[in-house]
Amino acid sequence: MTDDTFIEGPLYERRRKVYPQSVHGRFRRIKWAILCITLGIYYLLPFVRWHRGPGLPSQAVLVDLPHRRFYFFFIELWPQEVYYFTGLLIIAAMALFLMNAVAGRLWCGYLCPQTVWTDLFYAVERWVEGDRRERMQGDKRYWTFGHVRKVALKHFLWIMIAWWTGGAWVLYFADAPTLVKDLATFQAPFIAYLWIGILTATTYLFAGHAREQTCIYMCPWPRIQAALTDEWALNVTYRRDRGEPRMSVKKAEAARALGDVAGDCVDCHQCINVCPTGVDIRHGIQLGCIQCGLCIDACDNIMKEIGRPPGLIGYDTDINMQRRREGKAPIYRIVRPRTLIYAAAIGLVGSIMLYTLATRSTMDVNVLHERNPLFVQLSDGGIRNDYTVRLLNKGPERSFGLEVLGLPGSTIRIAGVEPKPDGKLTVQVGQDQTREVRMSVQVDPAHVPQAPVDIEIRITDRASGESASTRDHFVPADQ
C-alpha cells in the first residue's frame, strides 16, 4: 500500500448556508398542525389550573422542587416514586424505536423540539426577509439599509421567541401567574432569570443559527436509528426506477414520442430547495435527511404542473424499490415482529404503571434502626431498641396509630406523644406531609429474646382503617 492511497481532506464539510424555500402541500400542513399543537401546549400549559384542595398548589403541571413533589393534573408523585419516571423513559425509548421501525426518522421530521422551533424561526425569517430568492439576494447586498433593517427585525423576533421559550420553561417550576408578576417587577429569584437567560441563548443559537448543523453533527439519533432500521421501514425515497433518466420537460416529451425511455424527474431542484437541511434526496437516504416530507410536497406540485402522476418522491421501503425493479407490485408490512415487540413493550410498561398508580397507597412508613448503640440494657434486666420512624401522608391531614407486632412483652414509647385513653399511640401528620418521630421499643426481662427477632412496624389510619407497614429487627443484649 502506498502513501497516495490515503486522500487527505477536511473532517467536516465547509458550512454551506441553506435557504429553504416555502412549500405547500399535505406534509407541510401536517407540520404546521404539529407545530401549533406542541408549542401551544408548551407555552400555555403552565397557566392551566387544577384544584387539589386547600394548602395544595393549583397549577395543573408543576415541578415543586422545594417540597419535592411533581404534580400532573390529578397525579401527585413523591421522590420515592421515581420509578414512574423510569417507566416513562422506557415508554419514550420504545415509542422512538417504534416510530423508527414504522417510518424512519418520524420523530426528527415532525416532533423533535429542534425541528419545531427551527420551523418557527424559518417562518419568521420568510415573513420578514422574503422567500428563498429574496433572502439569497439580500445576503449578497448585505450592507444596504433595507436589508440591515430586515435582519435586525428578524433577530429581534427570534430573541423574543427564544426569551418566551426560556420563560415558559421556568413557569413549570413555580406558580406561573405569580412568577410572571415577580419577573415583571424584578422580584423573582436570581435563579429564574439565570435559567431564562441560558434557555433564551440556547434556543436562539440552535434554532436561529445552528439549525441543520444540530441535526447533522450534534444529535446522536441519526446514527443510532441507522442501526435500528430495516428494509421494511418507510423512508422518504426518490423512486429512481420512475425518475431516471432525468431530462427537461420538452426533451422528455420528444423522447417519449420517439419511443425512448424518459424519466419523470425534470431536474428542477425543487426537492433540494425546500429541504431544511439542503439534502438532495435523489442521492438516496442520507444522514442529513430528517424525513420531513417537504420534498414530497415540492415534487408533487411540479408533477401536477407538468401533467405527470404524483409520487415520484414518497414514503417507501427498500423492499419495494427492489420489487419495482423486478416488475412486482409493492407490499407494505407495518405490522411485523419488530413493531409488535415495541408495541408490546409500551403496552406492558404502561399497564404496569397504570396498575401501580391506581392501587398505590396514600400512606407509607419507613424505619431506621438506631446503630449507636444497637440496644440499651435497662436496670431491671429489660432491653430497649430505638428507631427513627418516618410517616408519609399523601392525603389530607390524618391521625395514625402506631404499633409493633411480632415481639411479645413489648411496650413502645414515642418522644413527645402521649398515649390515648385506650393506651394506643397516635401520631398526627399534616396534609401532604411527612413526620419523623423517635420510637423506643422496650421488652420486659421475662420476654427478652435469645436472638435478633424480626418485627413489623405498622401504622393505621384511625379514620379509614387503611394501614401500611415495614419490617425491621429487635436486637437483644447478648448480640
63-72 pLDDT per residue, tens: 998 888 899 9
Q: Look at residue 63 in the predicted model and tell me its pLDDT.
A: 92
Q: Look at residue 256 in the predicted model and tell me its pLDDT.
A: 83
DSSP assigned state of 446? G
378-398 pLDDT per residue, tens: 888 888 999 999 999 888 888
317-343 pLDDT per residue, tens: 888 888 888 888 888 888 999 999 999
Distance CA 306, CA 193 (A): 55
The alpha carbon dihedral of 374, 377, 383, 387 has a sign of negative
Residue 476 has pLDDT above 70, yes or no: yes
Q: Look at residue 224 in the predicted model and tell me its pLDDT.
A: 86
Q: Look at residue 7 in the predicted model and tell me its pLDDT.
A: 43
Q: Specify whether domain 363-474 bears CATH 3.40.50.2300.
A: no
Q: Look at residue 394 in the predicted model and tell me its pLDDT.
A: 85
Element (H, E) at 136: helix 132-140
What is the crossing angle of helices 337-359 and 83-103, to 10°?
A: 160
Model confidence at 422, pLDDT cuts 50, 70, 90, reads low
Task: Put residue 248 in one of left, alpha, beta given phi > 0 → left and psi -120 to 50 → alpha.
Answer: beta
CB 82 within 8 A of CB 347: no
Q: Look at residue 423 in the predicted model and tell me its pLDDT.
A: 63
Model confidence at 78, pLDDT cuts 50, 70, 90, reads confident
Distance CA 393, CA 399 (A): 10
Q: Look at residue 61 in the predicted model and tell me its pLDDT.
A: 94
186-225 pLDDT per residue, tens: 999 999 999 999 999 999 999 999 888 898 888 888 888 8
Q: Quick one: average pLDDT of 425-439?
A: 88
DSSP assigned state of 110? I
Q: Quick one: average pLDDT of 235-263?
A: 86
Q: Quick one: average pLDDT of 291-299?
A: 93
CATH 2.60.40.10 range(s) for the chain read: 363-474
Structure-block grid coordinates of residue 375: 440496644
Q: Look at residue 478 in the predicted model and tell me its pLDDT.
A: 66
DSSP assigned state of 450? S
The alpha carbon dihedral of 221, 222, 224, 229 has a sign of positive
Three-class SS state of 395: coil
Contacts of 371 (CB under 8 A, 6+ apart): none
Residues, the chain, total?
479
Distance CA 192, CA 46 (A): 15
Across the chain, what does the average pLDDT equal? 88
118-169 pLDDT per residue, tens: 999 999 999 999 999 988 888 887 778 888 899 999 999 999 999 999 999 9
CB 153 within 8 A of CB 130: no
